[in-house]
Structure formats: C-alpha cells, structure tokens
C-alpha cells in the first residue's frame, strides 16, 4: 500500500513538475539544496522504517525543516561570502550514503537468511 502511494505520488509529481512554470535561475541554487535535503530526509525515513522506529512527525518535520534550514544556510552563506551550501551538501549526501548502506545491508541480510532457510529445508 505504501509502495503504491509512493508510486502514485512520484508519477503525479512528475506530471505536475513538467507542466509547472520554471523558476528564476538565481533561485534554482536554493531549490537544488532543498531537493538534496529532502532526498536525505526520504532516505532517512526509509531507514527508520526498516529499523522499525519510524515516526511520521519526525519524518515530516525533518523533510520540511531540513529543506528550509538548508535554504536559509545557503542564503546566509551568500551574504557572508562563504560557501555554506557545500557543507550542507557534504552532510546530506554523506548521510544519504550511510542510509543507503543500512538499507542495502538490511535487504542483503534478509535475502541471505532466506537462502539459508531454503537450504535447511532442503537438507
């Protein structure tokens, strides 16, 4: 059911996004950093689902909070003449890799357990 919701959400989002008006190039930098933050939140959410400690409130607040915070940090970085958005990208992408590793391990372990169980039944 959740998978169907994700699929429908993605398809609808793609359709709307393609037909939506474009934004100014000046602000696309902010939008890009917000997208990276949101992606990080999504992978974090998936990890927490696998770890069975998923909390909707934390997920939603992380999704929007991280996006807004990263936009504000980028803006602050431009005002301070420091590329803060680089730090944000490093943190978010690093966390994304960690979460992806956790997800990968989870599924590999699940799959190998299944394999062993099969062998045991055969033996």
Partner 1 sequence: MKGKITITITIGLICFILTAVMFIQFKTINQTDITSLENMREDELRAEIAKFKTKYEETIVKYEEIVEKQEEYQNTINTDTEASELLDQELKQVKDLLGYNEVKGSGIIITLTDTDKQKIVAEDVILLLNELKLAGAEAISINDQRIVYNSYAADIDNKYISVTGVRLVSPYIVKAIGNRNIFRKWSF
Question: Which residues of this chain interact with partner 1, rule CB under 8 A?
Answer: 1-2, 5-6, 8-10, 12-14, 16-18, 20, 22-23, 25-26, 28, 31-32, 34-35, 38-39, 42, 45, 54, 56, 59-60, 63
CA atoms 107, 108, 113, 114: torsion sign: positive
Residue whose CB is less far from partner 1, 13 or 94: 13
Task: Give the residue among 67, 66, 71, 64 at the shortest CA–CA distance from 85.
Answer: 71
Residue whose CB is less far from partner 1, 25 or 111: 25
Residue whose CB is less far from partner 1, 52 or 119: 52
Gyration radius of the chain's alpha carbons: 19
Task: For residues 87 and 90, give the distance between their C-alpha atoms in angstroms, rounded to a whole number.
Answer: 5
């Amino acid at each position: 059911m959740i998978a169907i919701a994700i699929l429908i959400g993605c398809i609808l989002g793609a359709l709307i996004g393609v037909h939506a008006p474009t934004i100014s190039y000046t602000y696309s930098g902010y939008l890009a950093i917000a997208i990276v933050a949101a992606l990080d939140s999504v992978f974090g959410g998936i990890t927490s689902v696998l770890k069975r400690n998923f909390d909707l409130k934390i997920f939603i607040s992380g999704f929007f909070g991280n996006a807004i915070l990263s936009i504000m940090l980028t803006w602050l970085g431009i005002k301070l003449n420091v590329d803060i958005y680089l730090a944000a990208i490093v943190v978010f992408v690093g966390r994304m890799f960690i979460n992806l590793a956790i997800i990968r391990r989870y599924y590999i372990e699940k799959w190998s357990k299944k394999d062993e169980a099969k062998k045991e039944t055969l033996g």
